[in-house]
Structure 1
């Protein structure tokens, strides 16, 4: 009877494993060894997972994506690789876990050098086949691994997972899906996109030599404007690129086609691009691909397919460029990248930041110094003594409203720029209405100013509120650009 139950259990176990490939990993649990390596002054800590074999084995270094990551984030994949006979090195990203440094102030090239330091460590290990050490890069890591590959012949192959070619375009896609998921209106998405372009443009100018404090310079070190297409065109190592068809963080169809074109342009002779159906950004099983949904495990066939490819290469197998395997359909975005490229002449940091500073100074002076009121009382017209007081009050009220708009815009940009939980505080939803009131007062002030100049009255005092009127007129296109004219959000 016991034998019958045991046989039934084994049959059921094998059936489950056939339905969920990779649920039961082949081979015994790997050996784990704490390792340390350095890139300049940065000391990195990690764990090397080794299979139980008596000969040198191929190895993979796992390179992290954006933000904070330690070795635990790649542990599941690393253990799977090691059980399949492939050594795996997972490490704490600089500034994370037991590693020194600061990932927030590192460039892509510095992060690539961290990965090469891990490759150098593996190359010296007797358990590792030094001819077959590759790099796995997830998301942002997929843009870092080609930088390492073109700088070292020690990298034997690359496995980019859910990578993109342009961070700006990728973030447009990501934010559109994130704002839709959180139920935020398109106008707030437009503000977040414009704020991101402004920030990236400022960072690029800082990297190109714009003098700023050291702390600002460090925060601008990550080169978001790096042309990943040109870097991939230099890669000669074999490439296995994988994507999830339902990815809502990276535009898969566009990214896969761009990667294929770059590899062909560079003359790479061995590459494969696979798009897995039913998979999200992390190649996990998903029905919708929505961002930050609960983890349900890797899509069937993914880990087996990747490890099979590595083992086949280590055994001497080769494959020619296989083209794209699979398709992905991306949702239509409310604002395309081309939309912002057409507005780059106005929305860049060289224009926007001086404008914000200038508007703040002018409107603050109008509110705090009250020179217009004193001048209007001194040079009051005999024909209409009340008109200067009306215009003075109008100018001062307009300055106060515009200062509130500028302060509200700064707070709003901070709120919608959160890359995980963007929001709009209830009080700030009325900013467009305040912008409409500002536009009405600006028209009235310009009209009073023009009429006064034409009549030739108060010539000695009109210069101040005429200057306010000019600033208010220039402020209107600024409000329109930042979607602060119209109905509430």
Structure 2
């Protein structure tokens, strides 16, 4: 056999083995992703009637063989969020299931084909929505009506106490909750400018723009006037978003928080939160709720606003990779375990962590 033929065959064998190795590697990676993103809960799509339309929900129940479980009702933060929050809720749902709790969440109106428009809602509308979901859950034979609590993040800080005013809840888990819309907005603006290393001139200009926006909101100015006031530089603001802000910019949880006195509340605060002033939030929550003895405050120095580890969350690529291959390790150390421990405390009927 001539050397050229032998060389060609050897090259083909090497290529074949490389392809086989790549296929095995790819199959292994797919297997790891499927395994890591398989959770010890049973998810089912549910429909909840409210206000003449349907909430498209997901009910995630433990696989422990029990006929009845406690329930945690999820209240989203800002933005077009679906029932699973792009899968980000699932590690929490699994932790809840280990504590003997089911989890209920739904697509915001207008998200994933759900009817309605979340940008047309007020915080009271969102509270009515959650109260309707709780009423629906209480009628189910697989839910213990005496063990229904709330979980909410960020903007949900304005919704959670409103829900508790409408229907009894057993506990509340408030994650990076906002207190006052205008104070939060100012804090977020200055925190982001500091993170960008903005000059003093830019800080002054952005602060002046923020004040102009506030005055327009106070006058209930239409979007067109906002656009003129900013010289057409609306920075992604739309008429629908302006309407949402106009309806909700006076939100202040301080007025509603007293309804939670005596209700077990777990306040979760992150060390790298540029969205919410955690010091202000803790001060308000302690001032209103601490005298009742039912407030627990947990700090996570390595977490960002979403309680994702700061070292992961600062890179979109790293976040995506960890979400694929190790989703349970996305969150700040102790975050999931502490919530499970909170659910297992006496009176809440959860399963004690090992």
User: Counterpart of 1:42?
Assistant: 53
Please say if 1:256 is aligned against 2:282.
yes
User: Counterpart of 2:332?
Assistant: 299
User: Counterpart of 1:271?
Assistant: 295
User: Counterpart of 2:16?
Assistant: none
Structure 1 gaps, min length 5? 1-22, 207-213, 318-489
Please say if 1:175 is aligned against 2:189.
yes
Structure with more contact order per residue of length (Cα contacts < 8 Å, sep ≥ 6)? 2
Q: How does 1:149-228 map to 2 (within 5 A)?
A: 149-153=164-168, 155-184=169-198, 185-203=202-220, 219=244, 222-228=247-253
Structure 2 gaps, min length 5? 1-34, 224-238, 323-329
Deviation, structure 1 residue 309: 0.8
Q: Of 264, 268, 272, which residue of structure 2 is paired with 1:238?
A: 264
Q: Given that residues 204 and 220 in structure 1 are in contact (C-alpha distance below 8 angstroms), is that contact kept between their aligned partners in structure 2?
A: no
Q: How does 1:428-439 map to 2 (within 5 A)?
A: none
Q: Given that residues 158 and 239 in structure 1 are in contact (C-alpha distance below 8 angstroms), is that contact kept between their aligned partners in structure 2?
A: yes
Please say if 1:54 is aligned against 2:87.
no
Paired with 1:203 and 1:156, the residues of 2 have a C-alpha distance of 38
SS across alignment from 1:109: helix
Deviation, structure 1 residue 84: 3.8
Q: Given that residues 254 and 284 in structure 2 are in contact (C-alpha distance below 8 angstroms), is that contact kept between their aligned partners in structure 1?
A: yes
TM-score by length of 1: 0.53
Paired with 1:252 and 1:220, the residues of 2 have a C-alpha distance of 22
Deviation, structure 1 residue 195: 3.2
SS across alignment from 2:259: coil
Deviation, structure 1 residue 186: 1.0
Paired with 1:145 and 1:88, the residues of 2 have a C-alpha distance of 16
Paired with 2:97 and 2:161, the residues of 1 have a C-alpha distance of 24
Deviation, structure 1 residue 301: 0.9
User: Counterpart of 1:69?
Assistant: 81
User: Counterpart of 1:85?
Assistant: 100
Larger radius of gyration: 1
Paired with 2:105 and 2:187, the residues of 1 have a C-alpha distance of 29
Equivalent pairs, count: 284
Paired with 2:210 and 2:241, the residues of 1 have a C-alpha distance of 21
Gap change, CA 1:69 and 1:28, over 3 Å in 2: closer
Deviation, structure 1 residue 224: 2.0
Gap change, CA 1:246 and 1:117, over 3 Å in 2: same
Q: Of 149, 153, 158, which residue of structure 2 is paired with 1:138?
A: 153
RMSD over equivalenced CA pairs, Å: 3.1
Q: Given that residues 157 and 177 in structure 2 are in contact (C-alpha distance below 8 angstroms), is that contact kept between their aligned partners in structure 1?
A: yes
